[in-house]
Every structure is written in structure tokens, then in C-alpha cells.
Amino acid sequence: RKEVEQDPGPFNVPEGATVAFNCTYSNSASQSFFWYRQDCRKEPKLLMSVYSSGNEDGRFTAQLNRASQYISLLIRDSKLSDSATYLCVVGGGSYIPTFGRGTSLIVHP
Amino acid sequence: NAGVTQTPKFQVLKTGQSMTLQCAQDMNHNSMYWYRQDPGMGLRLIYYSASEGTTDKGEVPNGYNVSRLNKREFSLRLESAAPSQTSVYFCASSPAEAASYEQYFGPGTRLTVT
């Protein structure tokens, strides 16, 4: 089993839709969780950290489920500009974090 | 602030040639990293430097060497390039251990080895 797994997609949704991605992790000792966004042919950039209590930033909500070992990202009212690849990153147990392979989102008019 | 800068942006090498990818950060971060990204493989860590004066192997170090020249600069060297090293290379930095802190990435170097 891979350490961090994501559905590669693509998720193809219309503008205004709500879309959710999940990311599962195998190391129960993991302590840190992040979502990064990567645009085509660009570098990854932090979208949000994921806290135990969950957190929200505008249209984006991130949640952590330790019992089932997954994190989620919910995007409400999707915009064309949300089209990107979303990378799940999990840390803990070693110095460096583990990246998932990413989930591709395409928002169409 | 420029953040993390990388040079060159693009490079084409012939098999067996050598080159050094340069990376610099101006955020006074302790930790720096080199990743490669290939289609369908995600980001894979090549080497990292937890602090000035230290370097450690990551997941895929074979064929590469690194130098942490000072706190700002972390270079990646390919001694004898192979077609399997065709990839996009990203440098990143973080305040401390990347497992707990956000990483800031450079714009990447697109390397083709023929």
C-alpha cells in the first residue's frame, strides 16, 4: 500500500459546483497534513494546512479523520481558476513529508 | 523578496554530460530540498539539507550529488547525465523540518537528456 494515496481524477465539474477530494495515509503516527495546489507546468504552492479540528479558508474546507486515516478537501462554488492539480502532503515519523501523486481538477464553463 | 530561485529554467544535455542546477532562497530558511517530478510519479525527494553544513539522501539519490554552499544556496549536480534523468527538478526550502512546516518551491528546471 502506498503511504499517501489520492484518486488521480480528473474530476471534471461545472462552474459553481461543489467538489471534494480525499487522501488516505498509511502511517498512523503522522502529525502534519497539508494541501498544495499545482498549476500546469508550475511549482506546487501551499493551499492550506489541515488541523485536527478542521479548517476553512473562504470556499475551501479541509478536514482530518484520524480514525480512518484520511484528509479531505472540499471546494465550494468552483471557479474556472480552481482548475489545477491538488497534492496531499503528510508528515510525521521522519524529517521529510510524503507527497501524494495529486488529484486533477478541471472546472468548465 | 524573490523567494526561491532556480537556474537554469531549461536545459538539454547529451548522455554523459555533467551540469549543476543552482538554487537560492532569501527567506533565511534552515532546510532546503531537491525534488524531481515525472508524469504519474509525483514529487520524489532526491536530497535534502536540514541545516547549513548537512545533507542527506532522499528517496532517489543515485546519479546525483548536492552541495549546501551556505544557508542561502543548495546546488544539485549530475555528474554523468542519463536519459532516465529527464525530468522537472524543483528546489524547495522550509523554516525547519518539512514534515511540520510549509515548503516554498522554486519555479523548476526542465531538463532533457538525449
Give yes or no for residue A16 having a pLDDT over 60: yes
Place of cell 544535455: B13
Do residues A99 and A78 touch, judged by C-beta distance below 8 A?
A: no
- Do residue A94 and residue B108 have CB atoms under 8 angstroms apart? no
Average pLDDT, chain A: 93
- Do residue A101 and residue B97 have CB atoms under 8 angstroms apart? no
- Do residue A44 and residue B50 have CB atoms under 8 angstroms apart? no
Give yes or no for residue B70 having a pLDDT over 70: yes
Do residues A72 and A18 touch, judged by C-beta distance below 8 A?
A: no
Supply the pLDDT for residue B47. 96
Residue A12 amino acid letter: N
Contacts 24+ apart (CB under 8 A), A49-56: A49/B102
- What number is the average pLDDT over the span B6-30? 97
**What is the DSSP secondary-structure string of A12-67?**
EEETT--EEEEEEES-TT--EEEEEEE-TTS-EEEEEE--TT-EEETTEEEEEETT
Nearest to A102 by CA among B42, B11, B84: B42
CA distance B21 to B109: 8
- What number is the average pLDDT over the span B21-31? 96
Residue B55 sits at the chain A interface (C-beta within 8 Å): no
Q: How confident is the model at residue A31 (pLDDT cuts 50, 70, 90)?
A: confident
Q: Which of residues 57-86 of B touch A (CB under 8 A)?
A: 58
Q: Which residues pair with B56 in a beta bridge?
A: B48
CA distance B58 to B42: 14
Supply the pLDDT for residue A5. 94
Residue B19 sits at the chain A interface (C-beta within 8 Å): no
Percentage of the residues of chain A whose pLDDT score is greater than 70: 96
Q: How confident is the model at residue B9 (pLDDT cuts 50, 70, 90)?
A: very high
Supply the pLDDT for residue A92. 73
- Convert A27-66 to b/e letters by CB count within 10 Å (16 or more is b): eeebebbbbbbbeeeebbebbbbbeeeeeeeeebbbbbee
Provide φ and ψ at B84, rounded to 5°. Answer: -65, -10
Supply the pLDDT for residue B36. 97
Do residues A15 and A106 touch, judged by C-beta distance below 8 A?
A: no
- What number is the average pLDDT over the span A26-40? 92
CA-based R_g, chain B, Å: 13
Give yes or no for residue B32 having a pLDDT over 70: yes
Q: How confident is the model at residue A93 (pLDDT cuts 50, 70, 90)?
A: low
